[in-house]
Amino acid sequence: MSLDVDPPDPPELAAVDPNEYEDAEVSGGEYRRDELEAFLREGAWEEAFDEWTAGSDMDEEDWRIALDLGLVSRFDFFWDDFADRVGYHAPGLPEDWKERDLHPDLDSWGTVSAINAGLTELGQIVCETLKTEYIDWEADFDAPDDLPDFEA
């Protein structure tokens, strides 16, 4: 499948400690958000978005709901120096979406799952695009000298 929609503006990255997210554990305190945000504006976001839409399982209705709820603007991307990677937090719909009456067209767990899974996939592709195509810095983390040698 593919999703035929225009890319929205890239998210503005807030100064949030990624350890506050339930799905992230990051060491260090230099998250390089300004640089990552610049890369997103310079083309990483659109490049990753185009790759994502080419294989996305989301449909236009799911995407419209995600946009209406402002989910895309709540993405967060940050540098994880310890892991030498770009980490991310994908926004999603809460489990109590039905009780909260979040959107008039949000009416099934299938739609909620499609939106949450689709945004997670988009976040992963953005991270991979940033790391492989834009980032030229190396992690500053130096492993201790007393780590075991696992060479075969």
pTM attached to this predicted model: 0.83
* Residue 42: count of CB within 10 angstroms of its CB: 12
Single-letter code of the amino acid located at 124 = Q
Residue 96 pLDDT level (bands cut at 50, 70, 90): very high
CB 76 within 8 A of CB 13: yes
When the pLDDT of each residue in the chain is averaged and rounded to a whole number, the result is 85
CB 86 within 8 A of CB 33: no
Residue 137 pLDDT level (bands cut at 50, 70, 90): confident
Angle in degrees, CA 22, 24, 27, rounded to 5: 135
Distance (Å, whole) CA 98 – CA 114? 15
CB 51 within 8 A of CB 71: no
